[in-house]
Every structure is written in C-alpha cells, then in structure tokens.
Chain A
Amino acid sequence: MPDLTRLAQSPKIALMSDTQKTRIEAVLAYFNSLENRSIQISEQLCFDPQRAWDRHCTLVNRLSFEVQRVGWQMSGGHLYLWGAEMQYGFFSGHLVAFEQQENGAELIEHLSDALWRKTRINNRMGLLPAPSRDE
C-alpha cells in the first residue's frame, strides 16, 4: 500500500503545501481501506462551482468495479484505484476538497481554469444516490 512518506518522494507532492499533503494523506488512508472492496463511482463536471453544482454541470459518468489495489504514478503525482479492467484516478495537484462520508467519500478537483470535477465514491454500493442535474 502506498503511504505519504513514499509518495512524498514524488517531486510534485514534495512541493505541495502542508494542507494539501494532509488532504492527500486522508485520501490515501481512505483509498487503502478500499482494497478488495466493490465500489461505485460517479462524477460531475462543472464550469462554475460558485453557482452550485446544479448549474453548468455537464456530464455524469458512473462505473462500478472491485478495487484490487491502490496505485500511484510517482512522476506525475497521480493516485489510482485499480480494478481488473477499470480504474479511477486523479492528479493530486488538482485536489481541492476531500470529505469522507459514512459510506463513501467525495473529492473535488480543479482541473483547469474553468473546470471542476466532483467524484463520489460509494463503498457500500447502492446507498448513495448518483448525482443528477436536478440535485
């Protein structure tokens, strides 16, 4: 399992603020708890989160898979949940919020000037509703 000590060797992560490192550490702990568990992931994209996620939300994707292991790409600071045939990943430098919830977690990334992605991970499948434009 990856831990922050090892990930800190990544130049991208080493340069991050303590706040960001703490956030990534929390994600890592959560990701590590998902190994060998089935998860459901859904994502929303948004051009303007100040106007709330119910507006300018463009696409919603969902997938389910069993996490085989947590992975990372040291050079780029990317973190992954690897399944047999699917994966979910994000660049740690994009992460602006992480909140662990009772049956899952929510991550928000700032992908570019005007693009945010909110990802919900449900580790007790079926309990969290998938996001919709009306939420």
Chain B
Amino acid sequence: MGAYTQVMAFDLERYRESELPDLRAALAKWDLLEACQKLDLDLGVKHHGLSTLSEIQADRQGGCNATDCEARERCPFHRRSQAPLRSEHFMRVFQAKAKAHWLESPAPVNLGKDFQFYTLAWWYGNELGLEYTDAERAFLAAQDRLPLLLARLCKRAAIWGWADGGYGEGCLGWLSAEEALQLAEDLAAYDLSGDAPLPADLQDDDVRQVTLPAMRACLAQLRDFAQVCGSQQLGLFLERH
C-alpha cells in the first residue's frame, strides 16, 4: 500500500547460514546462478557504487532488466520473463526466507510515511542547503559513505522485494551489522535534534518547516536503532507496508 516504512533488526549471519544455501540451490536448479549478473553472494543487488542501486526499480516481475543476460527469458526476476505467477512465487519465497530472520527484539521502529529513497536523497541535499532536483543530484554525486549506506538499506532487495501494488511497498533492503554501525557513525555527524539550525540557503517553507524536521526526526530514530543493532552484531532490514 505504500503507507509507511519500518526498520527491523536482521540476523544476517543466520540468514546466510540457514537460507542462502537453499535459495542459491533454487537458482542453480533453474540454471540461473552462474548466469546472473545482478545478484551478489547474499542475493542482494550486486553493486560497485551508488549509481547501480539508485537506478534499480523493484517490479512485480522482478527488478532485473539486464539486456545482455542469456538467462533473461527464463529468469523469474527478469521483467522480460513471460511467467508473472512464477515471478510472484519466487519473490514470495525469497522474501519469506529473509523475513524469517527479522527479529522482534530490539523492537522494530516505525519510520513513518515519508521515509523513502527519494526523500532520503532530498534530506541529504537539504542539509547542504539544496532542494528537490538539486538535492537529488548532490546525493547521487556524493563521495562520502552515507548515501551508499542509505541506498543499500532502501534498494538492496529490489530484485525480489516487490510486494504488491507498486507504491513503493515491499522488502526494500538491508545492512550488515558492520554497515549498521557505519550508518550510526555517519548519521552522528549530523545534528538531527528538534532544535537543529536550518541551512540558510533553503528557500521552500514546506522543506524548512515540515519536511526537513520530519526527516531529521526519522533519521535520529534510525541512527539510534542502527547503533543498538550493530552493537549486538545484528543488521537492519527495511520494509515498506
């Protein structure tokens, strides 16, 4: 439904031990494992930088749109495959395997309706005094680690994370425990408190009075949750309902 976003503690190590062998075996059975260019060893989006993640879009028939993959006609995660029900089945299986390692403790945190990839890009630019498309450009061109970590959290599961109606819902992505601590560290460099000063260059009243304060509050929650999870050797998983 695309109604709101929640972050959970994720036991990535157990996922790797318990589920990955089965999931990789399922892909191998369809003769997809060797051919796949889009999935990494954890079956997240294979990427070398931010651009790969920012461009990928979850889709009901799979998030892959590789044009030169020899397996694209038979792959359940490729949009050209002609078997939407098989895509749905595969995606449900992959999602269920990941969800099995979401934890109830530490308790999941509701990050609200506005927490999405594009609003995170806007936030990053807003902190630099930039708005909308300028803010997005700054995010995509960033050389620091934070945008990449946020993109991993929002996009890493995009190949198989699609949920339903196409309003951004689904299993979005995850961070390892090490990355969770990095995220907490990088967010700690920002003043995310309610009385943090606004960048002087921001002109839009809606951004100044509503959007930026709301995103800061969400990110303060995420920072604290990431610190708790990372300290317990747990990763994070992001879901949008």
Q: How far does the Cβ of A24 sit from chain B's closest Cβ, in whole Å? A: 17
**Number of cross-chain contacts by CB at 8 Å:** 53
Q: Does B37 contact A (CB under 8 A)?
A: no
Contact with A along B148-176 (1 / 0, CB 8 A): 00000000000000011111000000000
Contact with A along B41-62 (1 / 0, CB 8 A): 0000000000000000000100
Q: Does B131 contact A (CB under 8 A)?
A: no
Range class of the A interface residue count: 20 to 34
Q: Would A88 and B165 count as touching, CB distance under 8 A?
A: no
Q: Does A61 contact B (CB under 8 A)?
A: yes
**Chain B residues within an 8 Å CB radius of A85:** 4, 110, 112-113
Q: Does B2 contact A (CB under 8 A)?
A: yes
Choose from A58, A86, A112 the contact partner of B4 (Cβ within 8 Å): A86
With contacts A58-B88, A61-B241, A87-B113 taken as known, whether A41 is within 8 angstroms of B1 at the C-beta atoms is: yes
Within 8 A of B (CB), among A25-79: 41, 43, 45, 47, 58-59, 61, 63, 65
Q: Does A89 contact B (CB under 8 A)?
A: yes
CA of A45 to CA of B112 in the docked complex: distance in angstroms?
23
With contacts A43-B1, A61-B241, A63-B3 taken as known, whether A112 is within 8 angstroms of B166 at the C-beta atoms is: yes
Q: Would B113 and A63 count as touching, CB distance under 8 A?
A: no
Q: Measuring CB to CB, which residues of chain A are less than 8 angstroms from any residue of chain B?
A: 41, 43, 45, 47, 58-59, 61, 63, 65, 82-90, 109, 111-112, 114-115, 117
6 A-B contacts, Cβ less than 8 Å apart? A61-B3, A85-B112, A86-B3, A86-B113, A87-B3, A89-B2
